[in-house]
Amino acid sequence: MHSPLKTVIIGYGLVGRVFHAPLLRHTDGMTLKGVVSSRPDDVHADLPDTEVYSSAEQAFKDPEVDLIVIATPNDTHADLAVAALEAGKHVVIDKPVALDGKELERIIACARYHDRVFSVFQNRRWDADFLTLKGLLDADRLGSVTRCHLHYDRFRPEVRDRWRERPGPGSGAWYDLGAHLADQAVTLFGTPKAVYADLATLRPSGGAVDYFHVLLRYDDRRVVLSSHALSACDSLRYAVDGTRASYIKHGLDTQEQTLRDGGTPGQPGWGEDPTRGVLYQGETGDSETIDNVRGDYRAYYDNLVAHLRGEAELAVTPEQAFDVMRVIDAAHESSATGREIVLD
């Protein structure tokens, strides 16, 4: 028998409250011991039996805490992660892991020195449609992929007063949504040879990046990562062309909305995506509707528990996080200079 992994979340905004707290409370082998927050009443309104720490340092000093989950603004990730690792805690950081590769190198070095596990919460590897696309590619249903579009569009004309949409380090859609798409691209195809990017603020009152079009160049394929905050027809997710067939998928995975609506991970219908994609055969022109694999964000934490018990390899590794951060950094440089950035 193994003791549950006692976990503390730092931050109880949207990410900590909507994503991490429900997933941690409904993953076998984990227990949510506490939350670091300056608003204890908000935490206790949702989690009356959960301890609230007044500071991160208080949680780091608690000898009962095994794991720290960092769900704070992006510019605080690196310092909090290093402090947690130095205190002997395992660490999960919500994406993006850091502001740049130098910060990430510091976190990785600290985790290695203190022999602690460090991972990045890339939950959208467990989207229903991403699992479905990956299954099609693994089964060679499309042949060799030559072009792939990964989209995450929204229609949000009003700029909200929150740190993600204000000017500042770590804000904007490229850090937020781009981190998901870059991770999916690297997971499917590996690290690209080069990156060419256009990052922009297109909403009239916008203060942070709300549009991006990022081209990843591989030897034998091109991958486009795209997002726009003013897309009234925002349903395209994947458009993938291969030497044998093409796959088109619209609609978003339902897990985030279920969590936003107060749903419970594992409830009936959890992880089901009713919007099916279509596979188009190149030679015959025939089409086939593809049922989605069931998604489950809890699989991220299931894997972490199994890894810490010595039963599984870590699904989201520091090395993968570094490859994704290279793409994020290169896109910033490309957009600023107007040139393609070649990755060594």
pLDDT at 312: 98
pLDDT at 164: 86
Residue boundaries of the structural domains of the chain: 5-121, 124-295+326-342
**CB-neighbour burial class of residue 271 (10 A; exposed 0-12, middle 13-18, buried 19+):** buried
Which among 161, 228, 163, 168 is positioned nearest to 201, based on CA atoms?
Answer: 228
Contact 337, 320 (CB under 8 A): no
Q: Domain 5-121 belongs to what architecture?
A: 3-Layer(aba) Sandwich (3.40)
Same fold, 5-121 and 124-295+326-342: no
Q: Rounded distance, CA 96 to CA 75, Å?
A: 10
Superfamily of domain 124-295+326-342: Dihydrodipicolinate Reductase; domain 2 (3.30.360.10)
Single-letter residue type at 343: L
Per-residue pLDDT of the chain (344 residues; tens, 9 = 90+): 689 999 999 999 999 999 999 999 999 999 999 999 999 999 999 999 999 999 999 999 999 999 999 999 999 999 999 999 999 999 999 999 999 999 999 999 999 999 999 999 999 999 999 999 999 999 999 999 999 999 999 899 898 888 888 889 999 999 999 999 999 999 999 999 999 999 999 999 888 999 999 999 999 999 999 999 999 886 899 999 999 999 999 999 999 999 999 999 999 999 999 999 999 998 898 999 999 999 999 999 999 999 999 999 999 999 999 999 999 999 999 999 999 999 98
Calculated CA dihedral for residues 178, 184, 188, 190, nearest 10 degrees: 50
| 3-state percent helix, strand, coil for the chain, nearest multiple of 5 | 35, 25, 40
Rg of the chain over all Cα atoms, to the nearest angstrom: 20
pLDDT at 2: 87
Buried b vs exposed e over 21-38: b needs ≥16 C-beta within 10 Å? bbbbebbeebebbbbbbe
Strands 118-121 and 194-200: unpaired
Which among 109, 100, 54 is positioned nearest to 74, based on CA atoms?
Answer: 100
Contact 281, 136 (CB under 8 A): no
Q: Rounded distance, CA 272 to CA 177, Å?
A: 21
pLDDT at 1: 67
